[in-house]
Amino acid sequence: SNRLSTLQLWVINLITKQLMTPLNKTGHKWALLLTSLILLLLSINLMGLLPYTFTPTTQLSMNMALAFPLWLATLLIGLRNQPSASLAHLLPEGTPTPLIPILIMIETTSLLIRPLALGVRLTAN
């Protein structure tokens, strides 16, 4: 009805369309979460451009607080919906039998360290 609400609706529709185009219908339930996350990060980072302000995304704690729950949700939903495909990522195809236990431990460690490594990289940038 007014210009501000029209602008907000236009931005949300634009972001939602960009996010949902590559997804199937079951992935569309994540539209609100992803759109709000993008708008939160955009507003926080734009406020950091103002003089005498602090950007919270420069801190590791903020990045980890955002990264860890989203990583865990992605992991658990993948294990719930497609358990065999999720577990297949722990072992490359054609692995020799003696290497299987070692590779599973290495891939599991890599999977568990991933949110920390990405959070540190994002903070460093």
Give residue limits of the domains in the chain: 1-55, 59-124
- Maximum pairwise Cα distance, the chain: 67
pTM above 0.85, yes or no: no
What are the tens digits of pLDDT across the range 18-35? 877 887 787 778 778 887
Q: 72 pLDDT band (50/70/90 cuts)? A: very high
Average pLDDT value for residue range 95-118: 90
CA distances from 59 to 7, 20, 69, 112, 125 (A): 31, 30, 17, 21, 11
Q: 4 pLDDT band (50/70/90 cuts)? A: very high
